[in-house]
Chains A and B, each alone.
Chain A
Amino acid sequence: MARFIFRRLVLAVVTLWLVISAAFFLIRAAPGGPFDGERRLPPAIEKNLLASYHLDEPLLAQYWRYLRMVTRGDLGPSFKQKDFTVNELIAAGLPISLGIGITAFLFALLVGTSIGTFAALQHNTFQDRFLSGLATLGLAFPPLIVGPVLVLVFAVGLAWFPAGGHASVKHYVLPTIALSLPYIAAFARLSRVGCLEALDLPHVTTARSKGLSRRRLVFHHVLPSAFVPVLSYSGPAAAALLAGSMVVEEVFSLPGLGRYFVQGAINRDYTLVMGTVLVYAVLVLALNLLVDFLYGQLDPRVRSEMVASSD
């Protein structure tokens, strides 16, 4: 088991390095630079600027310099937000993005799987068809539609919630709903199918024929099997949720990581782009590791594979 985790960690570090390298060379190859403005800078000043950020060195030398910096935990100074280091900007933005991201994810997981399980247990009734239809409908509402519409209805129209900002808990209600809606739908569909398949499994039939109570049957025998597809979708869902948080942060003017990334990409703020990509990649990779670990907890076959592969 320990060796399995160790191998996954090594793989994660290699993946991280690949992501950093791809991001580094892509943003450097993009046309334009951080100091291209409306007005051209006098050549002497531009030269000094480039030298002070080491942008005059060969690209490979800069790449090594950046990698060395990152291993020390230093993400460098922001090129555009002159008084801030990237570390400071991320420290400010990460809690906001993580806050809406984690809340939306848990909310979607809880509501989605409850709906899915409930629908599956009433298979082929009106409730089942209604909820499944609703779930299909939910997939057609990505955050970039739901966000602005929620602002229009609940902030501009009804004035129940603020349209933007991050001063209180109330400010986070609309962004969280906007972000979680399509995932509620996706989790509902997955858990419904998972449950229906689990209900037909031999061990569930045995448990039922032994006269187990419905509650024990569902919670101890059906749900653990039914959750495997839900869990395997969790990794990609979390990655997509992070992407969705970019839109949500834009719509609700939340100064989170996503906005820094988008601004950085537009302004060619090289270090800021690299820093945000790095943090996002670490988050996603950590989450995938967690999902793989939980897999083993849910499915004994995977656990024995983990033990076997570490020999």
Chain B
Amino acid sequence: MRPGHRTSFVCILLLAVALVLGPWLSPWEQEHIDYDALDTPPSLTHWFGTDGSGRDLLVRTMAGGQVSLTIALLATFVSFAIGLPWGVIAGYAGGRVDQVMMRIVDGLYGLPFIFLVILLVVFFGRNPYLLFIAIGAVSWLDLARIVRGQTLVVKNAMYIEAARALGVPAPWIVTRHVVPNIMGPALVYATLTIPGVIIAESFISFLGLGIQEPRTSWGVLIADGATRLHAPWQLIFPATFLSVTLLVLNVAGDQLRDAINPQEQGLRL
């Protein structure tokens, strides 16, 4: 890891620590209402100010970040759980199976998925946390393509040929030899889906369809802030946190991708 690369990972770590420790260290509770401080700008008592109901914005921003990132990680896990087997099976089986499976991925690519995600969220009704299933269920397409490509490369390696010659059954070859060898790139590309998934969550919560009060997420906080522009800190703080998170995740993702594709290094930045 080059020194320049360390910065973005340190940023991610700092962010995670802040999100976890922030609410814990702060004297304020997430849902505590400070009647003496409704809509107050940032001060020494409330570092990020308070919202319209007098709740401490620092604590709510951190708690919202925890929700956003948790949903994002779970959604990425769901997309990984679908995309990895899909790509491996298509790549290893080859021929007609491969063609049909990848045609399906191509077809799904062009669909206005966000509408089905929203309908799924509406369908889940009272349990907004299931949001991650809906988001994950539509974010696995890129991963399936990458995994298929990697599988095609690994498939022709000597050790696979040797295993096949020894009469090892296909499911065993796939789970014991193919999957472990493509795991690295697969994990890298899975991390690349995290920013998109974070945007999807905040987008749905912003529209009032995801996380509901009194629970909060960055999307909810930005939506609230957007309607209370007389108190701009209510928009600025959550928006800054979301942007910084997306930025460091994008940069870290690019660096990871360059690390596993040295020949493409410098092509991307």
In the complex, besides A149-B236, A283-B112, 11 extra interface pairs with C-beta distance below 8 angstroms are A140-B244, A142-B203, A145-B243, A147-B226, A148-B222, A239-B112, A262-B207, A266-B208, A266-B209, A284-B110, A287-B110
| One of A86-94, A205-213, A244-252, A296-304 contacting the partner | A244-252
* A111 located at the interface, meaning its Cβ lies under 8 Å from any Cβ of chain B in the complex: no
Name 16 A/B residue pairs within 8 A (Cβ), A-sorted.
A15-B110, A26-B120, A27-B123, A133-B269, A136-B269, A140-B247, A144-B219, A235-B109, A236-B110, A243-B114, A243-B115, A246-B203, A250-B207, A262-B209, A277-B119, A288-B110
Q: A30-B123, A142-B203 are in contact. Are A193 and B268 (CB under 8 A)?
A: yes
The reply to whether A148 and B226 contact each other, CB–CB distance below 8 Å, is: yes
* B113 located at the interface, meaning its Cβ lies under 8 Å from any Cβ of chain A in the complex: yes
Docked complex: B98-144 residues within 8 A CB-CB of A? 107, 109-116, 118-120, 122-123, 125-126
* B246 located at the interface, meaning its Cβ lies under 8 Å from any Cβ of chain A in the complex: yes
Interface SS majority for chain B: helix
- CA distance in complex: A15, B112 (Å): 11
The reply to whether B207 and A246 contact each other, CB–CB distance below 8 Å, is: yes
Q: A235-B110, A251-B226 are in contact. Are A129 and B269 (CB under 8 A)?
A: yes
The reply to whether B226 and A151 contact each other, CB–CB distance below 8 Å, is: yes
* A23 located at the interface, meaning its Cβ lies under 8 Å from any Cβ of chain B in the complex: yes
* B57 located at the interface, meaning its Cβ lies under 8 Å from any Cβ of chain A in the complex: no
- CA distance in complex: A277, B202 (Å): 21
- CA distance in complex: A126, B265 (Å): 17
For A136, give its contact among B122, B254, B267 (CB under 8 Å): B254
* A59 located at the interface, meaning its Cβ lies under 8 Å from any Cβ of chain B in the complex: no
Q: A27-B119, A142-B199, A193-B268 are in contact. Are A148 and B247 (CB under 8 A)?
A: no
* Chain A residue contacts of B243, Cβ below 8 A: 140-141, 145
- CA distance in complex: A246, B122 (Å): 16
Centre residue among A15, A129, A152 by max chain B CB count within 10 A:
A152
How many Å from the CB of B4 to the closest CB on chain A?
A: 12
- CA distance in complex: A280, B236 (Å): 32
* B154 located at the interface, meaning its Cβ lies under 8 Å from any Cβ of chain A in the complex: no
The reply to whether A243 and B203 contact each other, CB–CB distance below 8 Å, is: yes
* B195 located at the interface, meaning its Cβ lies under 8 Å from any Cβ of chain A in the complex: yes
* B62 located at the interface, meaning its Cβ lies under 8 Å from any Cβ of chain A in the complex: no
- CA distance in complex: A281, B114 (Å): 11
The reply to whether A140 and B246 contact each other, CB–CB distance below 8 Å, is: yes
* Chain A residue contacts of B226, Cβ below 8 A: 147-148, 151, 251
How many Å from the CB of A151 to the closest CB on chain B?
A: 7
* Chain A residue contacts of B11, Cβ below 8 A: none
Type the 1/0 row for B254-269, where 1 means its CB is closer than 8 Å to any CB of A: 1000000000001111
For B202, give its contact among A26, A139, A144, A261 (CB under 8 Å): A144
Query: How many residues of B are counted as interface, with CB atoms below 8 angstroms from the partner's CB atoms?
Result: 46
Chain A residue with Cβ nearest B250: A139
Chain A residue with Cβ nearest B226: A148
The reply to whether B203 and A26 contact each other, CB–CB distance below 8 Å, is: no
* B232 located at the interface, meaning its Cβ lies under 8 Å from any Cβ of chain A in the complex: yes
How many Å from the CB of A4 to the closest CB on chain B?
A: 15
Chain B residue with Cβ nearest A288: B110
- CA distance in complex: A311, B119 (Å): 41
* B242 located at the interface, meaning its Cβ lies under 8 Å from any Cβ of chain A in the complex: yes
* Chain A residue contacts of B120, Cβ below 8 A: 26
| Size band of the interface chain A makes with B | 35 or more
- CA distance in complex: A266, B250 (Å): 33
The reply to whether B122 and A152 contact each other, CB–CB distance below 8 Å, is: no
* B225 located at the interface, meaning its Cβ lies under 8 Å from any Cβ of chain A in the complex: yes
The reply to whether A145 and B242 contact each other, CB–CB distance below 8 Å, is: yes
Docked complex: A255-278 residues within 8 A CB-CB of B? 261-262, 265-266, 273, 276-277
* Chain A residue contacts of B269, Cβ below 8 A: 129, 132-133, 135-136, 189
For B116, give its contact among A26, A144, A149 (CB under 8 Å): A26
The reply to whether B112 and A243 contact each other, CB–CB distance below 8 Å, is: yes
* A201 located at the interface, meaning its Cβ lies under 8 Å from any Cβ of chain B in the complex: no
* B206 located at the interface, meaning its Cβ lies under 8 Å from any Cβ of chain A in the complex: yes
* Chain B residue contacts of A156, Cβ below 8 A: 229
Q: Which 9 A-B pairs have the closest CB atoms?
A: A132-B269, A148-B226, A243-B114, A140-B246, A140-B247, A288-B110, A26-B119, A31-B125, A30-B122
* Chain A residue contacts of B125, Cβ below 8 A: 30-32
Type the 1/0 row for B209-244, where 1 means its CB is closer than 8 Å to any CB of A: 100000000010011011001001001100100111
Q: A139-B195, A144-B202 are in contact. Are A149 and B219 (CB under 8 A)?
A: no
- CA distance in complex: A283, B115 (Å): 13
Centre residue among A23, A239, A287 by max chain B CB count within 10 A:
A239
The reply to whether A149 and B247 contact each other, CB–CB distance below 8 Å, is: no
Q: A136-B251, A189-B268, A266-B209 are in contact. Are A19 and B111 (CB under 8 A)?
A: yes
Chain B residue with Cβ nearest A151: B229
- CA distance in complex: A62, B123 (Å): 19
How many Å from the CB of B42 to the closest CB on chain A?
A: 16
Chain A residue with Cβ nearest B247: A140
